[in-house]
Amino acid sequence: MDKKATILCVDDEENVLHSIKRTLAMEKYNVLTATSGAQGLEILKTEEVDLVISDQKMPNMSGHEFLKIVRENHPECIRIMLSGFSDFESLVKAVNDGEIIRFISKPWDNKELTNVIRIALERNMIY
């Protein structure tokens, strides 16, 4: 398939966004970034996004709140949560409300992250 998958990464920490972009640079993805859930939602209004990776702990809008809105407005978009906080209640909300396909802890393993993304996109026949 010739389509280049578009991935949106949402995290309030710029260094995390740069690390993810660097990790995915070798892959053939179009990577967009947002520093807040609100900014991520604005991007989703204008861009066709195949997969979203969101941090859980962000100011103003948590990751599970953001992913719930993504699920409601863009149900075809694959959702992954990335977080350094393993708060069980937040994880349950992300799974139930945002219907995430995977939770990845920070610090993440680059190989695991790229494999999870590749497999998720292949299963959805996007890449």
pLDDT score recorded for residue 97: 65
Name the burial class of residue 16, with classes exposed (0-12), middle (13-18) and buried (19+) by CB atoms within 10 angstroms of its CB: buried
Q: What is the pTM of this model?
A: 0.89
pLDDT score recorded for residue 1: 46
Neighbours of 102 (CB within 10 A): 17
Neighbours of 17 (CB within 10 A): 20
C-alpha separations of 56 from 1, 12, 47, 124 in Å: 32, 10, 22, 24
Q: Which domains does the chain have, with CATH numbers?
A: 6-123 (3.40.50.2300)
What are the pLDDT tens digits along the chain (127 aa)?
457 899 999 999 999 999 999 999 888 899 999 999 999 999 999 999 999 999 988 999 999 899 999 999 999 999 999 887 666 676 666 666 667 888 888 889 999 999 999 999 998 775 4
pLDDT score recorded for residue 127: 47
With residues binned 3-state (H G I as helix, E B as strand, rest as coil), the percentages for the chain, rounded to 5, are 45, 20, 35
Q: Are 79 and 54 in contact (CB under 8 A)?
A: yes
Neighbours of 32 (CB within 10 A): 18
Tell me the two tokens of residue 63: 């990751």
Name the burial class of residue 101, with classes exposed (0-12), middle (13-18) and buried (19+) by CB atoms within 10 angstroms of its CB: middle
